[in-house]
Amino acid sequence: MRHGKYPFVIGFLIAPVALYVTFVIWPYAQAFWISMTNWRGLSAPQYVGFDNFRRLLDDGAFWKAIQHHGVLLLALPLITIAIALFFAFLLNVGGKSSGGQRQGVWGSKFYRVVFFFPQVLAVAIIAVLFQTVYRPNESGLINGVLMKLGLDPVLFLIRPNLALWSIIAVLVWQAVGFYVVLFSAGMASIPGEIYEAAEMDGASRVTLFFRVTLPLLWDTLQVAWVYLGIAAFDCFAIVAVLSIDGGGPDGATTVLAVEIYRNAFTYQKYGYASAMGVALFFLTITFAALTLRLTKRESVEY
Amino acid sequence: MSITPEQPAALDRRTVLRRAAAVGMLATPAIGLLSACATSGSDKETEQVGGGTKSAANPLGVKEDAAIEVIIFNGGYGEKYATDVHEPLYKKAFPKAEVKHQSTQAVSTVLQPRFASGNPPEFVNNSGEKLMDFGALVNDGQLQDLTELWDAPSVDDPAKKVRDTVVPGTVEAGSFNGKPYVLYYVSTVFGIWYSGKLFKDNGWAPAKTWDDFIALLTSIKAKGITPYGYAGSNAAYYQWNVILTQAAKIGGTDVLKNIDNLEDGAWKQDAIKQAATAWAEVGAKFSDKSFEGLKHTDVQLRQNQNKVALYPSGDWLEGEQKQDTPAGFEYQLMPVPSLTASDKLPVTALRATAGEGYFVSAKSKNPKGGLEYMRQMLSVAGAKGFTEVVKAPTVVTAGSEGFAFPPGVASSQAALKAAGQDVFNLYFDGWYKELDTEARAATNELMFGRINADAFVERIQKRADAIKKDTSVAKFKR
């Protein structure tokens, strides 16, 4: 060990750690403190203990939001990963093999770029875009066509049991491209020899996918699942901009972040909103820990 | 390309992703959002500038060279009236003072941190979708008591107090538990709007009784035009306003007073049930389901295209739609028709109030300057200038004399005159935002046919009861 190594390492670490503590850890700590107060954003907060959390238990909107997170947590990762895997498989190994190398379907380079487009757009823009897509009258992209054909318009964001799924569809649309690229990268790193050997043994494309691609992609899938789970706990911008009256109709699409925003910036109940934020924090962290624990398995070495 | 095991790139990528996931896990979204405006200690007192010498030209005793900061909500009325009329007036009266101007479309986003850090601007136009909660501001002592302003001599006639130059009810509209804190500056009349041209072309007349109204809606429907509609997506309060206006006509203005004062069972009063039942029928038979998903400007545009005949709103509507209204459209106001022959108020009765709130921050550096700015606004020159720029009447009685209003505002001013003493207002939406939110959601449920009138009053009553019990919410009475 050379003398002066520690000062050197600490010198490098101190700036990022200080920044992280100031702009991430410290605001978090503050949010925990604010959640114990009835702060309304103006004068000094008053400590009220766990009052806000007790109120949460009786808050219908809070439970509705939790319920929606449950649906999102199942639907969003499942649908997104399924579609992204399918596309990635087609793009990378779905085509003919030439010279011992598996190829993607024809034009896969072009599709890869196209799939990534939604990721480039800002979320707010996507929400505004889909307002037009879903618009319930003849100026809507979908309903305009339907009405031209003499059909009744579909009230995508209006019918309470359809609204949440309309929003999930947007979230999936937006996310798929990124995971196609992610899985493509994962698939590209699977050695071609394995496919070659499997093919020689007479494996079909389906077998190839389930017996070779999927197991070797496990780590990447796990990461995707955690990412999408966290995305399912957010959804703020899409819901706030796209849904009727921010989480409507009548709370049918509301999520915690929207309720937090409403309580903080419409009702000016920062303490209560922080309590919701703390609840969201614990939900997210529990989810992430559980996912990582439950999906843990021996990674395949190759 | 395929990466062979010897190349470390694949492993690196996975490690990087896994670490990124861990960071993502920590950076839970919304919680950070809140702390962004959190503050360490907000009780700092701003040092306020001293007063100047009181004189005839300076009755409030403003320090003549003290700067004043003006925040204007850049919405339906724009900001031109401030930069072109009011600020020059202040500058003229106090040439040594600097007037700082800022406009915004999100008042609370800009001002919240400034209030929290004890550095609020002197004068604020608190309006728009992101206005700050007046109740919370009052409760926290952030707003300057305006009594001194109302009792000061007016700019134009030193023998007259400012309070005597404005429309009766102006001071009360901005009062909380009897103390004036807010200046509501624009005279606002609510009603149901239609195109004079469309009605004339079809030989339709505004309805006075409910039977006439249903007959009118029926003949409009026969023409293939949607008879009635409001935007459910963000403007459901336009419709609860109609329902409550109807209720006030049926049962008298105490119906609304009970709601504002959170009296027990206020929402379950018979008049409200009757009104809700009547309007639910209009929603079911004479409106369009798709309106629930539209924004107010969308439905207003459809009215301008003669696809919707009747639209509930206030008299800012004409100005707001100026760009999209075809020539000769001719906005006209119809008061909400009477429901029964035994209604307590006549058909001419309507909701009118002073709208567009302005306040002076009590904890700003120069609150006196803010008060003086208001005094200048309330001068005839200030009011006339405002009306000329935005085509809307102010609360200053002499301010709109001789001004030729466009047809819509002219008709609402005529309706206001016809109403005489039967003018009322309501306050609960400004006092208890949560009750407004609940009323909006319930109104959509009612008008788009998911609940009936009983369930409508039931659920709003439940929220009103909860607010009444909630000790953390400041209560107001009138």
Q: Contact B43/A43, CB-based, under 8 Å?
A: yes
Q: What is the tens place of the pLDDT at every residue in A197-212?
A: 888 888 888 888 888 8
Domain annotation covers residue B476: no
Cβ of residue B441 closer than 8 Å to a chain A Cβ = yes
Question: Looking at beta carbons, which residues of chain A come within 8 Å of B21?
Answer: 223, 226-227, 288
Domain, as residue range, for B283? 189-351+425-469
Pairwise CA distance, residues A249 & A241, whole Å: 13
Q: Contact A226/B21, CB-based, under 8 Å?
A: yes
Average of per-residue pLDDT values in chain B: 86
Q: Please, which pLDDT band fits residue B260 given cuts at 50, 70 and 90?
A: very high
pLDDT of residue B17: 43
Domain annotation covers residue B200: yes
B154 and B232 together in one domain: no
Facing B36 at nearest CB: one of A27, A219, A251: A27
Question: Looking at beta carbons, which residues of chain A come within 8 Å of B133?
Answer: 40, 266-268
Average pLDDT over residues B253-261: 94
ipTM for this prediction? 0.82
Average pLDDT over residues B439-467: 95
Q: What angle do CA A240, B79, A262 make, to 5 degrees?
A: 20
Q: Please, which pLDDT band fits residue B37 given cuts at 50, 70 and 90?
A: very low
Give the chain B residue nearest A38 (alpha carbons). Answer: B472
Domain annotation covers residue B7: no
pLDDT of residue A83: 94
- For residue B199, give the CATH number of its domain: 3.40.190.10
Average pLDDT over residues B367-392: 92
Facing A137 at nearest CB: one of B37, B43, B290: B290
Q: What is the mean pLDDT of each run of 10 residues along chain A (302 residues)?
A: 76 90 90 88 80 90 93 94 90 67 73 84 90 90 92 90 94 91 86 83 83 86 88 90 88 93 87 93 89 72 58
Average pLDDT over residues B144-155: 93
pLDDT of residue B20: 43
B273 and B224 together in one domain: yes
Cβ of residue B126 closer than 8 Å to a chain A Cβ = no
Domain annotation covers residue B15: no
Question: Looking at beta carbons, which residues of chain A come within 8 Å of B24?
Answer: 226-227, 230
CA distance B133 to chain A (A): 7
Q: Contact A136/B294, CB-based, under 8 Å?
A: yes
Quick check: A218 and A211 in contact, CB under 8 A?
A: no
Domain annotation covers residue B415: no
pLDDT of residue B209: 94
Indicate if the pLDDT at residue B8 is higher than 70.
Answer: no
Quick check: B416 and B189 in contact, CB under 8 A?
A: yes
In angstroms, what CA-CA distances link B323 with A90, A169, B76, B101, B386? 51, 35, 12, 26, 19
In angstroms, what CA-CA distances link A43 with A35, A120, B269, B270? 15, 41, 38, 41
Domain annotation covers residue B318: yes
Q: Please, which pLDDT band fits residue B329 given cuts at 50, 70 and 90?
A: very high
- Considering its fold, how many domains does chain B have in total? 2
Cβ of residue B14 closer than 8 Å to a chain A Cβ = yes
Q: Contact B28/A223, CB-based, under 8 Å?
A: no
Gyration radius (Cα) of chain B, Å:
26
Give the chain A residue nearest B445 (alpha carbons). Answer: A250
CA distance A45 to chain B (A): 9
Give the chain B residue nearest A136 (alpha carbons). Answer: B290
Which tokens in the block code for residue B154?
């007016």
Which tokens in the block code for residue B298?
């969308």
Q: What angle do CA A252, A257, A263 make, to 5 degrees?
A: 90
Q: Express as a percent the part of chain B with pLDDT over 90.
A: 57
Q: Contact B25/A137, CB-based, under 8 Å?
A: no
Question: Looking at beta carbons, which residues of chain A come within 8 Å of B10?
Answer: 189
Q: Please, which pLDDT band fits residue B253 given cuts at 50, 70 and 90?
A: very high
Indicate if the pLDDT at residue B23 is higher than 70.
Answer: no
pLDDT of residue B26: 41
B219 and B291 together in one domain: yes
B463 and B314 together in one domain: yes
Domain end call among B361, B379, B408:
B408
Average pLDDT over residues B421-434: 88
Q: Please, which pLDDT band fits residue B140 given cuts at 50, 70 and 90?
A: confident
Indicate if the pLDDT at residue B238 is higher than 60.
Answer: yes
Q: Please, which pLDDT band fits residue B453 given cuts at 50, 70 and 90?
A: very high
Strand partners, B70: B101, B123
Q: Which residue has the higher pLDDT, B319 or A79?
A: A79
pTM: 0.81
CA distance B449 to chain A (A): 11
